[in-house]
Amino acid sequence: MEMPKASDADKERFRSLLPDGPDVTVKPMFGNLGAFVNGNMFAGLFGRTIGIKLSPEHRQQLESGERTVPFGPADRPMREYTGLPEIWNEEGDGDDARAKAWIHKAYEHVAGMPPKEPKSTTRTAGR
């Protein structure tokens, strides 16, 4: 399976939709991007698809009212993430405000989770 890569324009748009703040970190992930708060990913870019991690209530609300898509590889989508509707990926269609609102809900949900502990970089003997 070939991993879709986000274009520079897709990456720029993704960054423009994220909440501003010193606690938001954007990192490259397999040719795409992930947005993190407290070490936990709240939004990601996979090809042109933006995926977000919502509370169960908000996820159900979004998925029941919009044509969401799976997020991640077709054979192994990330089950805790919902892909925003593909039509929202088109710039200038007026859906940026809707995408920003849902991304902000994901940010708030994930920001309320315990911070992710950094992985230890030291190796123990015998490994």
Residue 10 φ/ψ, nearest 5 degrees: -65, -40
DSSP-assigned states of every residue in 37-84: ETTEEEEEEETTEEEE---HHHHHHHHHHS--B--S-TTS--TT-EEP
Model pLDDT for residues 22-77, shown as the tens digit of each residue: 999 999 998 899 999 999 999 999 999 999 999 999 999 999 999 999 998 888 89
59 lies in some domain:
yes
Domain count for the chain, please give it.
1
52 lies in some domain:
yes
2 lies in some domain:
no
Instruction: Determine the Cα–Cα distance for residues 108 and 106; give it in Å rounded to an integer.
Output: 5
Angle of CA points 95, 39, 35, to nearest 5°: 20
92-98: which pairs have CB atoms within 8 A and are 24 or more residues apart?
96/16, 96/17
Q: Which domain holds residue 28?
A: 8-111
Instruction: Determine the Cα–Cα distance for residues 76 and 70; give it in Å rounded to an integer.
Output: 9
124 lies in some domain:
no
- Tell me the whole-structure pTM to 2 decimals: 0.86
Model pLDDT for residues 89-101, shown as the tens digit of each residue: 765 556 799 999 9
* Predicted pLDDT of residue 34: 97
Q: Which residues face 54 on adjacent strands?
A: none
**What amino acid occupies position 76?**
R
Q: Which of 54-58, 104-108, 116-120, 123-127 has the lowest mean pLDDT?
A: 123-127
80 lies in some domain:
yes
The pLDDT confidence band at residue 120, using thresholds 50, 70 and 90, is low
35 lies in some domain:
yes
Instruction: Determine the Cα–Cα distance for residues 22 and 34; give it in Å rounded to an integer.
Output: 15
CATH number at residue 14: 3.30.1460
33 lies in some domain:
yes
